[in-house]
Each structure stands twice: as structure tokens, then as C-alpha cells.
Amino acid sequence: MIFDPVYLVVIGIGMLLSMWASARVKGTFAKFSKVRSGSGLTGAQVAMRILQANNIHDVKIEPIKGNLTDHYDPRSKTLRLSEPVYGSGSLAALGVAAHEVGHAIQHAEKYAMLAFRSWWVPIANTGSGLSMIVLIIAAVMGGAQAAGLGAGLALLGVALFATTTVFTLVTLPVEFDASRRAMLSLEKGGIMPASELVGARKVLSAAGMTYVAAFITSLLTLLYWAYRLGLFGGRR
């Protein structure tokens, strides 16, 4: 399988997309990390202000080590901001902080796609852990073109891998909606003027491309396995 040219093309496209998206988000974040906001507020302060403006008073804000490790934990209602975001007043920091608060607002408002993604996480984790084992065994046994167990394993393996593709798909509206909420909060809260919003928007747009790249890579891999195992005219 490792010498299958179709497989190599799929992996190559996935790697190139991931590298491009990662380089873009790191470069954009680094660029706007050097531009300070006129508000004088830090990422943590902006996060607190937006939370209060949305009547959310039960979310904690904590610093976390690393770069671009920012996230919102709905289980403990904790907003964790990386060190370059928590105490920085740059356009990049404020944009990222506002984005993570966007997830807290989604949680408070019971945003359906966020709730579904949280519910789907254990399913995707199980599918991710088992899919490659089942897919490889199915390929060895002849896939969908073989009678009996091989055909059944082919369907099972693709279904298991599809759980991760669904997760990457559902992540797109969740992340884009959080960014939309972030920009509205920064604008309506008077935290950033229009000239600064441009920089924050570029940072969030670059970050969004990482999720697009993840979905495309997962979808291409899913289609490859469906083809490889003969589920729609592929070969054994």
C-alpha cells in the first residue's frame, strides 16, 4: 500500500495543505503580534470584558504554556489563553482571545453545532483509534470485492474513519462562528477601531484555514480508502 501512487498523492496533498495552513497562521500571528492595540488591554482583559458584556460570569480565565495553545474547555468552563495571548495587548492576542470567548458564548447559548461536536468527540476518538487497523486488515483480505469478512471489514473500516471526517466537518461552522462572534464583540464593544479589526480578522482567517486543511485531508483520505477497498469501483 505504501507504494500505491494514489495513496502517495493523497498523503502529499494533505501534508502540503497542513504545512501551508500552519505556516500561514504562524506567520500572520507573528506579524500582528508586533502591532499593539490602542485600547491598552491585554488578551485576558479583553476576554473578561467580552464575557461580562454577554452576562457570562461563571467562566474562569487561566494562562497556559505554549504558543497557539489557546482553547475553551466547556467541561470546566475555563478559558485557557497561551502566554503570548494572555498578557499581550497585540492585535493578534486580542483577536485570539476574543475567538476563544466566542466558544464560551456558544456554550452559554447552547449553540447546536458546538454541542454536537462535544458529543461526537468520543465517537471520533474511537473511530480514529480503530479505523486504520480495520482498514489494513480489510485490504489484506480483499476488501469489498471479496466475499464475507473482507467486504464487511471494508465497510466497517470506512465507517470508522468517517467519524473523524465528520468531526473535522462539524468543526468548520463551530470555528467560523466563534470568529464571527469575536469580530462582532471587538467592534460593538468599542475595543478595536476598524483599522485594527483588519489585523485581528486576518489572524482569525489564517487560523480558520488550518481547520479547512484538516477537513480536506480527512475527506481525501476517506475517499482513498473507499476507492482502495472497492466500495465505488476501486481495485483490490
CB 56 within 8 A of CB 72: no
Note every long-range contact of 63-70, with CB atoms under 8 Å and residues 24 or more positions apart, other chains counting. 63/87, 68/25, 68/26, 68/29, 68/96, 68/207, 70/96, 70/97, 70/99, 70/100
Q: Which residues contact 226 (CB under 8 A, 6 or more apart)?
A: 158, 232, 234
CA proximity to 125, closest of 74, 175, 163, 153? 163
Residue 114 to residue 119: CA distance in whole angstroms: 9
Q: Which residues contact 80 (CB under 8 A, 6 or more apart)?
A: 62, 63, 64, 69, 70, 71, 72, 73, 100
Active-site residue, 196 included: no
Catalytic residue among 62, 100, 175, 187: 100
Q: Cell numbers at residue 234, please?
A: 476501486
Neighbouring-strand partners of residue 80: 62, 71
Look-up: residue for cell 482567517?
A: 205
Q: Cell numbers at residue 157, please?
A: 473500516
Helix (H, G, I), strand (E, B) or coil at 150: helix
Helix (H, G, I), strand (E, B) or coil at 88: coil
144 DSSP assignment: G
| Catalytic machinery residues | 100
